[in-house]
Structure 1
Amino acid sequence: MTLELTGTSRRGFIQASASAAGLLLAFQIAPKAGAAEAGVKPLNAYVRVAPDGMVTIMAKNPEIGQGVKTSLPMLIAEELDVPWENVRIEQADSDPKLYGRQFAGGSMATPLHWEELRRVGAVARAMLIEAAALAWNCPAGECSTDRGMVIHASTKRRASYGSLAGQCAGVAVPDARSVAVKDPKDYRIIGKATPQYDTARIVTGQPLFGIDVRRPGMLYATYEKAPVFGAKVASADVAAAKAVKGVKDAFVVEGGENLSGLLPGVAVVGDSWWAARKGRDKLAVKWAAHPTSAQSSAGFAKRAGELSAGAPQKVIRKDGDADQALKGAAKTVKAAYAYPFLAHVAMEPMNCTAEFGKDGKLEIWAPTQNPESGRQLVAQTLGLKPDDITIHMTRCGGGFGRRLSNDYMVEAAWIARAAKAPVKLVWTREDDIKHDFYRPAGFHFLEAGLDAQGNVVAWKNHFVTFGEAPDKPASSAGMGPNEFPGRFVKDCQVGVSTMPLGVPTGPLRAPGSNALAFVHQSMIDELAHAAGQDPVAFQLKLLGDQKLVGEGPSAFNAERMRGVLKAVAEMSGWGKTKLPARTGMGVACYFSHLGYFAEVVRARVDAAGKVKPEKVWVAVDVGHQIVNPSGAMNQVQGAAIDGLSHALFQKVTIENGAVAQNNFYDYPVLRMADAPPVEVKFLKTAYPPTGLGEPALPPALPALCNAIFAATGVRIRELPVDARLLRT
């Protein structure tokens, strides 16, 4: 095994030094000037052991509600062999020179850190054992550990980690690859349901989030941007804004054309956020004309239809001859599917606090999923050195991919420099919905063929999306060539056409998959019904008896998918329950972000067309170990409910180049009273553990839509679900 950790070159692993405070365990990277504590080397510290035995573990990644502030330290604590009640967790600042990449996205925290952070703990434990062995003049191999103690069984000597911490300075650091890690049967922390570390502070309202930050002398800011993305300020009544009580300043920001950066707008700064908000109301901004104002959702749909009538601009998959196979099919099914733009609507709106020191260096407090890209954006836009920017990562009140972009960070920094004071920028909910990086809309024109036995013999998809060209799609608007049932149908063709877009797009929870699963799994359900076959049996037959299809990152494990399909059918009593009228069950499965998921939704549709999801069953295969079962359960349940919300309610409409929606009244989310129970089963399989915050979402949408069809006979081919189609 090659173990490569954060840093440069071969990235030397654990180092240690002693101080009066105890043991400091860290990754040794390039020296950094100005160690704050005498005797402490400038290290990237993950573990500190205090004389009283309390262990502080640094959480390197942003916490956005996915639980990594708890689960990643659990990996270290397990191998360190310290009682969890003796662990304290601190959020690390953003420091790529010490920690490497620090980000939250792609459900990658577990796969990237499963091996690495366990070995951080194992090396620390080995060093403490060696310190005890040196003190006791015995071989280290005769010593063991138990709950924060080093033990020499034959002499019955015991020493606490706290008492040994100061003796580790002279201990040689073992090669991380050579240290033993625990057998899973000996786990005491990993695999045990563990409350999220910050829960008590959250429910008692203690400051944790970006929106809670306060700085001495801090002012508050709002920022008005054009409804049409990137339009410049033609005029603004800044004098009227400044006349509002409590407003300290108001000024036009020229901005640029990069939709991911500092866009043109007008800033208003006040001694309270409300004063700044009232000042903003007086601006009467007029915006310059912009070419994106010619774009609209209706226009996109019209253009997609026109493009679908011709050949795809690019064929990204061609196996056999799909056209010929369709001609020879016993039955064909043709369908057009579409899905809208979506906003992220994290509960905490975008915000950031920025403060310049007298030395011209900048400090930022931000709820960001991707702090380093924010640092680079701010440095480039404001002409600063990246090393002169410190980013303190606060807890995020949700993200779902929105906080991978840092436009709000560069806005706060720009305003703070102009205001010559610490500034906290807070967006309104309307800002949040109207200035997002949206999940792209998309259009799929499909045709598939069945033989006389109901086998899929042809599959054809013309995908119309956004971008400069098929090989240059807009952010999160592309599709790979291996989407299932690609590689499982002998005669298969997938083509792509694109159209220009002036609306910013970006990843939303389970990017790409959150829309593509709806299309592909709904179409497969259509084929099952056209073949007169049970949808679960049809999927299993389509998967065949193969194990692994393809190689490398795109490999698809059909055996694992069959496993979750069979499990969810058993969990839900699929095909064994007689359901009331206008109640149906739908099934879907999907592979994304390294996870295999199958879901069944039971839903009832009333006479007015309102859909009520009654229950969801989810079968999960994310490998051989769930780090924190309670956090994992929360993630799967939340993702499934999030998917139902997408399917039932959510839609961003572009009109004259701007977003038509404003707030939760016209961009609703699923409320607690309507959220169904979600039953989850984790299948432990012999594969490395992977993340699960995202892959539980995609199957929820088609499973719900397939349930609606089972209940009403109406096929949902466009999202969100239109109740008018379902009325009796």
Structure 2
Amino acid sequence: DQVRKAGAAARAMLVSTAAKQWGVPESECRTEASSVFHDASNRRADYASLAMKAAEEPLPDLDSLPLKKRSEYKLLGKRITGVDNRKIVTGQPLFGVDAVVPGMRYASYLKCPAAGGTVRSANLDEIKALPGVEDAFVIEGNNEPTELMPGVAIIANSTWAAISAKNKLEVDWDETHATRASWSDAQKNAKQAASDNTGELLHDIGNVDEKFADADKSYEAYYEYPFLSHAPLEPQNTTAWVHDGKAEIWSPTQRPAQGAASVAGILGIDEKDVEVHQLRVGGGFGRRLMNDYMCEAAAISDQAGVPVKLQWTREDDMAHDFYRVGGFHALKGAIDKAGKLSAWHDHFITFMGPNKKPVSGGDMRASEFPVDFFPNTRVTQTMLPLRVPTGPWRSPRSCGIAFAVQSFISELALEAGRDHVEFLLEMLGEPRWLEEGNINAMNTGRAARVIKLAAEKAGWGNPMDKGRGLGLAFHFSHAGHFAEVADISVDENKKLTIHKITVAGDVGPIINLSGAENQCQGAVIDALSTTLGLQLSIENGRIQETNFHQYPILRMSKAPDVAVHFIESDARPTGLGEPALPPAAPAICNAIYAASGIRVRELPLSNHGFSV
């Protein structure tokens, strides 16, 4: 409402200015299409012509200003196309990769494939003699993954020459302090931790032990999900020109201010002497919250003494990401004689960094479903050491946790002989805010409404053909309440036909319906990719996957219909970049079980013979 009040105040000041200029009462003026009108005298003034004088008007009392009713909106809630849409589809320059600066050279940068490695030596003289190469040198860096890791830079007269020369580099890496991480080792250690049934107590609510002791039955399952790459279509790049104690940067970054601060620190100059031009991002998903590529370009330009455009390859992008962290859940539920869930225990096995705290995206918060509302809940945590860079990945934390938690709730409903929707609604209890007035806290009433809407729109409970099933999942994350239903067929060869994904969400009033639908559809497609076939293999600190042939993003021809429905509640509007993703994976896996009787507890599905 603060923004709406600010808009109403600006409108009132513009109307007041126009009325004074025309010598008419304000009550006779109206506004439309960024203009003030006085119909009686057939006069019109656009906002731009009034703005300077309006700025001198006294600020009206914000609380006294009338706000538009939702029924009076002319733009809010309607489909508004993106201002860059035509440029995107016609290939006009918008993105970081399109940046051109007079006199610029082209750069590539090779870092140790195992994080923490440094350069002992490299065949620099041989590289400098290659066609198009103008220089090659070692950068010591500051050994900070989010800023400047050690490596070898190449300056050339074209991107092709720079990348071709990089492919011929022979570097002797010092891996004394490099990571030796292995995913297979982590899997073994996690299973051992789960069997030991120990861990730090994170949350303990109600009488968990008593409820398990009194349960009619208890049920256990073990879930795991892998590390993932962001894999943006546009690999990392930045154009930089460092000279005369100043730096000018052209970069597709999600955090330009943080990037400027990092560049200033790397170069040893004042932050005010770093100018960042934020260019359109060719896929971010949290990856470009880190500005390592920006720091690299600045350091290369500084040492080379010329403007440079640093361009990563897909292989660079896969090898030097801030990955979605994998995780493991040893889950246990108690079911009482009435078939109700009476207790919940999640032993969460995650990874810790050098600070002995969970790595980015690997923490379990009290707001994660169902910790924040279910009366008898316990969460314990075991942390395994990790030295692989991790970071925010679309819907951090919840993107993995929801798969385990919401799949297990479906299992519990089946074990109790109950309908999944009925069982889930019963878990939520009476409609209420978990923290009154906190938009970031779940509202069980809003949750129930989206669950019911998704089930209704998907035809929940209708008879299904053999080999076809519906799977539902709900998750609250990033201030969004979302339920999704997957409609899937499974044949005898485990080939999946994804007929439709039905999405129901409540994020308050919708501002731009087109953008809102697109965010949800994109989130579901993202989740489908990861669920079906994406994973990273880590061996001796190195990511084994190098490109899309080993990391198969979902193709357009395989994308299903994604039907999006919104409940526009009166709550304050919140974001849509994240919350539609977490329910998709468990909904898909629950549908596979309904269609085939096969329960998947480890992603991706391709590991279990499923394909699309």
Task: Tell me the TM-score normalized by structure 2.
Answer: 0.95
Cα distance in 1 for residues equivalent to 2:120 and 2:142: 14
Match of 1:518 in 2: 403
Does the CA-based 8 Å contact 1:522-1:702 persist in structure 2?
yes
Q: Which of the numbers 523, 530, 533 marks the counterpart of 1:646?
A: 530
Q: Which of the numbers 274, 277, 281 marks the counterpart of 2:163?
A: 277
Deviation at 1:281, TM superposition (A): 1.9
The answer to whether 1:454 aligns with 2:333 is no
3-state SS of paired residue (1:668): coil
Cα distance in 2 for residues equivalent to 1:547 and 1:176: 30
The answer to whether 1:667 aligns with 2:554 is no
Match of 2:12 in 1: 126
Cα distance in 2 for residues equivalent to 1:422 and 1:527: 60
Cα distance in 2 for residues equivalent to 1:158 and 1:478: 57
Does the CA-based 8 Å contact 1:241-1:281 persist in structure 2?
no
The answer to whether 1:371 aligns with 2:252 is no
Q: Can you list the C-alpha shifts for 1:7-50, whole angstroms capped at 9, x where unaligned?
A: xxxxxxxxxxxxxxxxxxxxxxxxxxxxxxxxxxxxxxxxxxxx
Match of 2:21 in 1: 135
Does the CA-based 8 Å contact 2:367-2:441 persist in structure 1?
no
- Going from structure 1 to structure 2, the CA distance change for 1:332 and 1:169 (only over 3 Å counts) comes to closer
Deviation at 1:313, TM superposition (A): 3.5
Q: Which of the numbers 423, 433, 449 marks the counterpart of 2:318?
A: 433
Cα distance in 2 for residues equivalent to 1:139 and 1:286: 80
Match of 2:494 in 1: 609
Cα distance in 1 for residues equivalent to 2:5 and 2:99: 35
Cα distance in 2 for residues equivalent to 1:673 and 1:336: 33
3-state SS of paired residue (1:523): helix
Q: State which drifts further: 434-443 or 459-468.
A: 459-468
Q: Can you list the C-alpha shifts for 1:662-686, whole angstroms capped at 9, x where unaligned?
A: 0000011111111100011111112
Matches within 5 A, 1:474-493: 474-493=359-378
Does the CA-based 8 Å contact 2:348-2:382 persist in structure 1?
yes
The code of the aligned residue for 1:434 comes to A
Match of 1:417 in 2: 302
Q: Which of the numbers 715, 723, 726 marks the counterpart of 2:599?
A: 715
Q: Can you list the C-alpha shifts for 1:295-342, whole angstroms capped at 9, x where unaligned?
A: 200111111122223354421111233233223211111111111111
Deviation at 1:452, TM superposition (A): 1.9
Q: Which of the numbers 206, 218, 229 marks the counterpart of 2:115?
A: 229
Q: Which of the numbers 257, 270, 284 marks the counterpart of 1:399?
A: 284
Q: Which of the numbers 456, 462, 467 marks the counterpart of 1:576?
A: 462
Does the CA-based 8 Å contact 2:5-2:62 persist in structure 1?
yes
Cα distance in 1 for residues equivalent to 2:561 and 2:545: 29
Match of 1:211 in 2: 97
Does the CA-based 8 Å contact 2:116-2:177 persist in structure 1?
no
Percent identity over paired residues: 46
Deviation at 1:292, TM superposition (A): 4.4
Deviation at 1:173, TM superposition (A): 5.0
Q: State which drifts further: 278-287 or 642-651.
A: 278-287
Match of 1:381 in 2: 266
Does the CA-based 8 Å contact 1:632-1:692 persist in structure 2?
yes
Match of 1:463 in 2: 348
Q: Can you list the C-alpha shifts for 1:436-491, whole angstroms capped at 9, x where unaligned?
A: 00011111111111112211112111111111499721111101134222254433
Does the CA-based 8 Å contact 1:228-1:290 persist in structure 2?
no
Deviation at 1:158, TM superposition (A): 3.4
Deviation at 1:511, TM superposition (A): 0.4
**Gaps in structure 1 of 5+ consecutive residues:** 1-113
The answer to whether 1:151 aligns with 2:37 is yes
Cα distance in 1 for residues equivalent to 2:355 and 2:494: 38
The code of the aligned residue for 2:589 comes to C
The answer to whether 1:329 aligns with 2:215 is yes
- Going from structure 1 to structure 2, the CA distance change for 1:652 and 1:726 (only over 3 Å counts) comes to closer
Cα distance in 1 for residues equivalent to 2:115 and 2:49: 60
The answer to whether 1:699 aligns with 2:583 is yes
Match of 2:426 in 1: 541
Q: Can you list the C-alpha shifts for 1:524-577, whole angstroms capped at 9, x where unaligned?
A: 000011111111111111112242234546632111111001101110101113
Match of 2:69 in 1: 183
Match of 2:357 in 1: 472
- Going from structure 1 to structure 2, the CA distance change for 1:374 and 1:130 (only over 3 Å counts) comes to same
- Going from structure 1 to structure 2, the CA distance change for 1:491 and 1:124 (only over 3 Å counts) comes to closer
The code of the aligned residue for 2:261 comes to Q
The answer to whether 1:527 aligns with 2:412 is yes
Deviation at 1:256, TM superposition (A): 2.3
Deviation at 1:628, TM superposition (A): 0.9
Q: State which drifts further: 479-488 or 521-530.
A: 479-488
Cα distance in 1 for residues equivalent to 2:295 and 2:179: 25
Match of 1:242 in 2: 128
Deviation at 1:132, TM superposition (A): 1.6
Cα distance in 2 for residues equivalent to 1:461 and 1:168: 58
Q: State which drifts further: 155-164 or 488-497.
A: 155-164
CA RMSD of aligned residues (A): 2.1
Match of 2:507 in 1: 622
Q: Can you list the C-alpha shifts for 1:582-624, whole angstroms capped at 9, x where unaligned?
A: 222100001111110000001122322233322100011111x
- Going from structure 1 to structure 2, the CA distance change for 1:526 and 1:300 (only over 3 Å counts) comes to same
The code of the aligned residue for 1:690 comes to T
Q: Which of the numbers 227, 241, 244 marks the counterpart of 1:341?
A: 227
The code of the aligned residue for 2:274 comes to I
Cα distance in 2 for residues equivalent to 1:207 and 1:603: 40
3-state SS of paired residue (1:472): coil
The code of the aligned residue for 1:456 comes to L
Cα distance in 2 for residues equivalent to 1:488 and 1:162: 51
Q: State which drifts further: 400-409 or 178-187.
A: 178-187
Cα distance in 2 for residues equivalent to 1:594 and 1:153: 44
3-state SS of paired residue (2:196): coil
Deviation at 1:135, TM superposition (A): 1.5
Matches within 5 A, 1:289-300: 289-300=175-186
- Going from structure 1 to structure 2, the CA distance change for 1:550 and 1:157 (only over 3 Å counts) comes to closer
Deviation at 1:191, TM superposition (A): 1.5
- Going from structure 1 to structure 2, the CA distance change for 1:647 and 1:388 (only over 3 Å counts) comes to same
The code of the aligned residue for 2:161 comes to A
Does the CA-based 8 Å contact 1:714-1:725 persist in structure 2?
no
Does the CA-based 8 Å contact 1:313-1:470 persist in structure 2?
no
